Amino acid sequence: MKLQKLRNIGIAAHIDAGKTTVTERILFYTGVTRKVGEVHDGEATMDFMKQEQERGITIASAAISCNWQDYQINIIDTPGHVDFTIEVERSLRVIDGMVALFCAVSGVEPQSETVWNQADRYRVPRIAFVNKMDRTGADFHGAVSQMNEYLDANAIPFQIPMGSEDDFNGLIDIIKNKAYIFGESERTETEIPENFKAEAEKYRTELIEKLADFNDEIMELYFDEKEIPEELLKKAAREAALKLLITPVFTGAAYKNKGVELLLDAITDYLPSPIDIGAVVGTDVENEEKTHTRNPSSKEPFSALAFKLINDPYVGQQTFVRIFSGEIKSGMPVLNSSKGKKERIGRIYKIRAKDREEVSSAGPGEIVALIGMKLTKTGDTLCDIDNPILLESIHIPPSVIELKINAANKNDRKKLGEALAKLSNEDPSFHAKYDEETDETIISGMGELHLEIIVDRLKDEFKVDVETGEPAVALRETITTEVEHKYRHSKQSGGKGEFAEAVIRFEPNTGKGYEFIDMIKGGVIPREFIPSVSKGLEKTMQKGILAGFPIVDIKAVLIDGAHHAVDSSDRAFQTCASVLFKQAFAKAKPILLEPVMKIEITTPDDYIGNVVGDINKRRGKIDVMRRFRKGSQKLSGYVPLMEMFGYATTLRNITSGRANYSMEFYRYEPLPKAVQEEYMKKKEEREQNK
């Protein structure tokens, strides 16, 4: 397989835009499946998890390979629900190009914007597909103008629909200047019908004028009023799309099999190969200021990024990797440069959703699953032992919601622990911890649905019956004022004692996390014990002092201290730092922080007063209102997660079921004083009642 003929693509969009349906049609037309699987029947090839089939939504990004003409296309189908945004994030890190899907009725929806911004972060070239042109209320040109208004996409129609809703029966290819009529089971290429010629000419002129901005040859031909060859238009459009200067827009109705084959042509025509993407840049393992590049060639040293782990009941843990350079073979030793440890490649599989094909080797540009990885986690770099490199990892958002969980049967406790460890490995946005004081296991994730799916999987996949408490918000703790504190730890109990002394200044470090600065002079604390001080602080910060939540956004400046030639040790300095921090924290006016969510609500005009009033009651604020389409508005604002439990039901009730919303984590902000006092009071009551 020539690398120029390889396409690694993701399909991403808002929930219900039809991603999985489009993928199913692609698999059917490329011969991977013999019949089309439908989401609503629970038979989609890509949605093979039981939880996906029951809810009709995609949860885990599934990788699948197919061939179109002489191209190989590796597709990663991603979820549209914001609770599974980590799946989109990790997919975008390893794909070369993206198909952004939009519903012709709904246009740009809240999660469409989130996905688009994620793709911007990784500079992923993309094309757009406006789906569901056969639905009531379909508006192709409205969707394109929303892409330009809300996403700054520089979206240009490369196809326009002929008709819409029940009358949608074909489309016009602007570059070829041809029409395609869709019959029951075939499509026919024809000349553009007379009643669409003026519209087609208008959009062709617009397309040529846009491309002339990026291509001198087209500009000259356009000014000389000469015919511009199709191949030249395609070449210029491809170059502009790869540089993220334009977003080519295509259209169709995937459910009715209209426009999908032409979308496949567009994927091969306008999305990049690994060669187009070029060299990947990584840092030196020893010196992060120094960079290395790896070209997509089998002659370069091996480098790959692990982007997903799945526990398979038949073959064990599968580690999905994207290979950027070099080749791997079964049995070959490699370096996990993120961990600084060696791994050995076991079996190598190419994945076709739930089916797999074993191969003996894999090369640049390929996405494969490895069996036998013991240490490798999501975001880790695998590379050649003699040529180490560290690739950019994957952005993992913080978990914002917690749930208490226990095995219903005491005998299943060990089984529950093992299952949670496997799920944490698979999903870096999911965390589980055991609280020895309360004898409870607490799981945390991105939202209510996220944790609901986890609990379902524990019962179905891992056969652990569990009991859950009420979901609770994952708060954080921090300080609001600068404090300097000194503490001496001295312990004599026969034999070798313990001695450590430190003076540390703590400062608020809003939004910047934990920072440790060493200002020790003259060796009053030996160099080998400085990391011990930081380690003691970090351990104490994991479980807060006010209410047991992690402590964040603190700068610790180590100013002075003392040691003893015999009694000082790593343990002594860790203990000293821990006690010192607890004492200083109480004096630094500590507060609780709560997760604040960015919320977007689409509602008919009639209910705007109800919606805004309800958000205000929840300590939220709507700061932007914009026309979404005729008769409805899109509201954007911020609201504390603590106030949002059960919001879906309330929104349904106050808008007669006609509004929808999307939330994503924005940042942590101080809990208002009155709310904090009420929270602490309730916490004390709960502890007394235990």
For 10-56, the three-class secondary structure string (H helix, E strand, C coil) is EEECCCCCCHHHHHHHHHHHCCCCCCCCCCCCCCCCCCCCHHHHHHC
In this structure, the strands spanning 632-640 and 621-629 are: antiparallel
Nearest 5°: the CA angle 319, 322, 328 is 80
Mean pLDDT of 630-642: 89
For residue 612, give every residue at least 6 positions away whose Cβ sits within 8 Å of its Cβ, in sequence order, or none.
Answer: 622, 635
- Please determine, for residue 376, whether its predicted confidence score (pLDDT) is greater than 70: yes
* Amino acid identity, position 43: E
Q: What angle do CA 622, 625, 628 make, to 5 degrees?
A: 135
Q: Which of 545, 656, 659 is nearest to 600 (CA)?
A: 659
Choice among 281-285, 395-399, 477-481 with the minimum mean pLDDT:
395-399
Tell me the range of 588-592, 625-629, 630-634 where mean pLDDT is highest. 588-592
Grade residue 13 by pLDDT with cuts at 50, 70 and 90.
Answer: confident
pLDDT at 453 over 90: no
User: In terms of C-beta density within 10 A (0-12 exposed, 13-18 middle, 19 or more buried), how is residue 190 classed?
Assistant: exposed
pLDDT at 53: 37
pLDDT of residue 43: 40
In 3D space, the residue among 154, 421, 397, 432 whose CA is nearest the CA of residue 311 turns out to be: 421
- Range scoring the smallest mean pLDDT among 82-96, 134-148, 181-195, 446-460: 82-96
State phi, psi for 208 to the nearest 5 degrees: -65, -40
Please, which pLDDT band fits residue 183 given cuts at 50, 70 and 90? confident
Bigger pLDDT: 228 vs 187: 228
Tokens of 467: 């009991």
Tokens of 672: 């208002």
Question: Is pLDDT above 80 for 415?
Answer: yes
Q: Which tops the pLDDT comparison, 265 or 55? A: 265
In terms of phi and psi (left: phi > 0; alpha: psi -120 to 50; beta: otherwise), the region of 631 is: left
The pLDDT of residue 7 is 93
Q: Name every residue whose Cβ is closer than 8 Å to that of residue 565 and which is 6 or more positions away in sequence.
A: none
Bridge partners (DSSP) listed for residue 329: 361
Mean pLDDT for all residues in the chain: 85
Q: Which of 56-60, 239-243, 450-454, 672-676 has the lowest mean pLDDT?
A: 56-60
Whether the CB-CB separation of 218 and 233 falls below 8 Å is answered with yes
Of 288 and 639, the structure prediction assigns the larger pLDDT to 639
User: Which has the higher per-residue pLDDT, 306 or 185?
Assistant: 306
pLDDT value, residue 58 = 33
What does residue 659 show for φ and ψ, rounded to 5 degrees? -110, 155
Of 492 and 619, the one with more pLDDT: 619
pLDDT > 90? residue 428? no
CA atoms within 13 A on the CB side of 574: 11
**Dihedral sign computed on CA atoms, order 405, 409, 414, 416:** negative
Stretch 205-215: mean pLDDT, rounded?
92
CB 78 within 8 A of CB 90: no
Has residue 433 got a pLDDT over 80? yes
Q: Among positive and negative, which fits the CA dihedral 564, 566, 568, 572?
A: negative
Mean pLDDT, range 640-667, rounded to an integer: 86
Could you tell me which residue, 205 or 25, shows the higher pLDDT?
205
The pLDDT value recorded for residue 46 is 39
Q: What pLDDT, in 10s, does the model give residues 576-608?
A: 999 999 999 999 999 999 999 999 888 989 999
The confidence band for 275, taking pLDDT boundaries of 50, 70 and 90, is: very high
* Statement: residue 236 has pLDDT above 90: yes
Tens digit of each residue's pLDDT (9 = 90 or more) over 24-58: 888 888 876 655 544 434 344 333 334 333 333 33
Q: Is 203 exposed, middle or buried (0-12, 13-18, 19+ CB in 10 A)?
A: middle
Q: Which whole number is the average pLDDT over 629-649?
A: 87
Return d(Cα 518, Cα 211) in angstroms, integer. 56
Note if the pTM is more than 0.75. no
| pLDDT tens-digit series, residues 122-148 | 899 999 999 999 898 899 999 999 999
Looking at residue 77, what is its pLDDT?
59
Q: Find, among 327, 343, 346, the residue nearest to 335 by Cα.
A: 343
Cα 380 from chain centre: 16
DSSP 106-163: TBS-HHHHHHHHHHHHTT--EEEEEE-TTSTT--HHHHHHHHHHHH---EEESEEEES
Q: For residues 503-509, give the mean pLDDT.
A: 96
Q: Give the pLDDT score at 115.
A: 80
Residue 658: alpha-carbon gap to chain centroid: 28
CB 215, CB 228: distance < 8 Å: no
Highest mean pLDDT pick, 6-10, 24-28, 35-39, 429-433: 6-10
Please tell me the predicted confidence (pLDDT) of residue 34: 54
